[in-house]
A and B are shown apart, each in its own frame.
Chain A
Amino acid sequence: MSRFRKEGGKKTPKINTASLPDIIFMLLFFFMVTTVMRETTLYVRTALPSATEIEQLERRSLVSFIYIGEPIQSHIFGTEPRIQLYDSFASVEDIASFIEAERQATAEAERPLMTTSLRVDRDAQMGIVTDVKQELRMVNALRVNYSTMRGEVAGMR
Chain B
Amino acid sequence: MARMTPEINAGSMADIAFLLLIFFLVTTTMDVDTGINRMLPPPIDPNAPEPPPVRERNVFVVLVDAQDRLLVEGEPGNINTLRERAKEFLLNEDRAPNLPDFEERNIELLGDVEVSRGVISLQNDRGTSYEMYIAVQNELAAAVREIRDDVSQQYFGRNFRDLRDEDQVQAIRQKVPMAISEAEPKDVGG
Contact = CB atoms under 8 A, between A and B. Distances in A.
Interface of A: 17-18, 20-21, 24-25, 27-28, 31-32, 34-38, 49, 51-57, 60, 63, 115, 117-118, 120-127, 129-130, 133-134, 136-138, 140-150, 153-157
B33 A60 contact: yes
Interface residues of B, number: 49
B34 interface: yes
B130 A123 contact: yes
B33 A144 contact: no
Report the 7 A-B pairs with minimum CB-CB distance, sorted nearest first: A127-B126, A31-B24, A24-B17, A57-B33, A53-B141, A153-B135, A122-B131
B33 A24 contact: no
Contacts of A133: 40, 182, 185
B121 to A, nearest CB: 15
Given A125-B129, A129-B130, A133-B182, A35 B40 contact: no
A31 B25 contact: yes
A147 B33 contact: yes
Contacts of B27: 35, 37
Interface of B: 10-11, 13-14, 17-18, 20-21, 24-25, 27-30, 32-43, 68, 79-80, 124-135, 137-139, 141-142, 145, 182, 185
B39 A143 contact: yes
A144 B134 contact: no
Contacts of B21: 24, 27-28, 31
Nearest to B137: A146
Contacts of A28: 17, 20-21, 24
Contacts of A127: 126-127
A134 to B, nearest CB: 7
Given A55-B34, A126-B124, A137 B24 contact: no
B30 A34 contact: yes
A51 B140 CA distance: 11
A146 B24 contact: no
B138 A52 contact: yes
Given A24-B17, A123-B131, A126-B125, A137 B41 contact: yes
Contacts of B11: 17
Contact of B135 (A57, A144, A150, A154): A154
Contacts of B125: 126
A86 B119 CA distance: 36
B41 A53 contact: no
A58 B43 CA distance: 26
